A and B are shown apart, each in its own frame.
Chain A
Amino acid sequence: MHTMPDDSEKTEPIFICSSTETLDSWASNELLPEEIQTAIREANVLVVPFIGHAYDSELVYFPKGTDVLMDTLRAEATEGFRPDICASDDGYRELAEHADVLHIAKVVAEWVVVPLLVNLLAGFIVRWRARRGAGTVVTSTLVLTNIPRGQSLEVRYDGPADTYVEAVKAAVAAIAEGREDLVGNPGLGSGGSESQ
């Protein structure tokens, strides 16, 4: 459920599916030490780990650069934008992979902060890509909670870094419009046009 997105189930850069994850479900997740469960209870933006890897099914990890992502999010923290991470210092593990892909940590966020979050992620991608070795392809998973009709939706992106913002914003706009037909295989990927 929390593993890296499986490429086999989609063809478009954007893929939307329903999710059972919420901020509360993470705040009561037994994987996390009790003090972390308590600490993250106030957050409305949670960076969460991936669980399981092809070479280690029990590995709980965050992608390389998650510390920089947290810096980016914390720099914008306000009363209405409260980022945190589901990890203790002792339990935090970063996976430095070789691929020419920028894997962004999974983020669970309340619907109201999504516009700011997407802009911050866009800035993070630009900054990270300016560095050597950063990928031209981005993978990102956002779990949007408390969306207009109350459920959680997972918005995954796996595609060119250049079209990330446009595609994710289009997906968010479509969710705001209540277009439930998007869930599954929306075809929003290239430029955010509506599925036909």
Chain B
Amino acid sequence: MRVSKVKELLAGVREHLWESSLARRQASQAIQSEKRSAIASGDQDLAKECWCLETALYIQKEFIGAFRELKQGAFYDAWCTLEKVEIAACSLSEHCCDGDDSYLTEFIGSQVSKFQSLFPYRMFLSPSLVIRKCRCSICGQEMSIRNPCGHRRGEIYDGELCARIVEDADLLEVSFVPNPVQKYSVVFPKDSDGASSDPYDYRLVEYVTRGLRAPFDAWDVEWTKIRHPHELYSHYARGDQCPCGSGKTYESCCLQESGVLRPHARVLFSVPPPEDLPAIAYPVAEFPDAETSRPGELQGKLG
């Protein structure tokens, strides 16, 4: 396979979804071969372009994989795969060589953020580290703050991203944080037998996944507030704090209204979702409000 064919395949991913692992492997080999030639001839620009193609291929493959995991209900696995995609997409955006997003990597990056917003994970474990020793991923030289090797972190050399490989670090502390550098460290409590359990409510991400027919179908979410039926809150006494979070009593707040004012995610699909997708799936099955009209075709919002 030639690199021009690889570019065609990257641009046509919506249609073929890299379903042929042979094609994907051949594409990867073609890029590697081109990169070796570029390095041998000292063409750093071409080597960098090869890195961009390689990364775009990786992003597409992993995003399709994450979509598959979501469809299978493997939500934490999908979360981690989306995280890998986000990291790669961010690296690529610094060295973007695809101005019109023909390989859909910017699109994927934006979809990843939207998927992440649907997940119920809100707090993560995150360590503080004192880094003592690290090496340059390009030349292998131990990092020297006074006499640096000359390779700049985040740049591309010989078609490879320059990074630091931490070899010695002390753990200073671990915190719960809402926005960690890496989002893999989701907290799963253990039950009395020591087995991990998953207490999270994935209905929202499940709903969107069910509504999507293919990984590259655009969708969006609008966060609003709507009134939820009182029967969902029948366990609240009139004198309890209102479930809407206003701080007033239920009686003097939402109980006087048609329902409890609660956050609501309205999902807009660019391709009509399957007929059996309920109009409202989260958090109630039925809801007689204009806001809850069946998620339908997106009208001009996603371009």
Contact = CB atoms under 8 A, between A and B. Distances in A.
Interface of A: 39, 53, 55-56, 59, 61, 64, 66-68, 70-71, 85, 87-89, 92-100, 127, 130-133
A98 B127 contact: yes
12 contacts: A56-B172, A59-B130, A66-B145, A67-B148, A67-B164, A87-B146, A94-B130, A94-B131, A98-B127, A98-B177, A132-B181, A133-B181
A57 B20 CA distance: 57
Contacts of A95: 128-131, 172
Interface residues of B, number: 33
Contacts of B153: 67-68, 71
Nearest to B166: A96
Contact of B175 (A59, A94, A98, A130): A98
A127 B126 CA distance: 24
B86 A55 contact: no
A46 to B, nearest CB: 13
A59 B169 CA distance: 13
B87 A132 contact: yes
Contacts of A71: 148, 152-153
B130 A87 contact: no
A154 B86 CA distance: 38
A96 B182 CA distance: 12
A182 B146 CA distance: 36
B154 interface: yes
A88 B146 contact: yes
Contact of B152 (A53, A68, A100): A68
B256 interface: no
B147 to A, nearest CB: 7
B37 interface: no
Contact of A96 (B86, B94, B128, B146): B128
Given A55-B172, A71-B153, A131-B154, 6 more contacts: A68-B152, A87-B146, A95-B130, A98-B175, A132-B91, A132-B181
A85 B177 contact: no
B293 interface: no
A61 B145 contact: no
Interface string B138-153: 0000011111100011
Interface in B165-198: 169, 172-173, 175, 177-182
B181 to A, nearest CB: 4
B235 interface: no
Given A98-B175, A130-B93, A133-B181, A93 B131 contact: yes
B127 to A, nearest CB: 7
Contacts of A133: 180-182
Interface in B66-103: 86-87, 90-91, 93-94
A98 B126 contact: yes
Contact of A61 (B130, B175, B179): B130
Contact of B180 (A59, A66, A98): A98
A131 B155 CA distance: 12
B148 A98 contact: no
B134 to A, nearest CB: 8
Rank and list the top 9 A-B pairs by shortest CB-CB distance, nearest first: A98-B126, A132-B90, A133-B181, A100-B179, A92-B145, A94-B131, A96-B129, A89-B144, A55-B173
Given A55-B172, A68-B152, A68-B153, A96 B90 contact: no
B148 A70 contact: yes
Which residue of B86, B128, B129, B179 has the most chain A CB atoms within 10 A of its CB atom? B128
A30 B246 CA distance: 57
A132 B86 contact: yes
B301 interface: no
Contacts of B16: none
B78 to A, nearest CB: 19
B145 A85 contact: yes
Interface in B18-36: none
A87 B91 CA distance: 30
B145 A98 contact: no
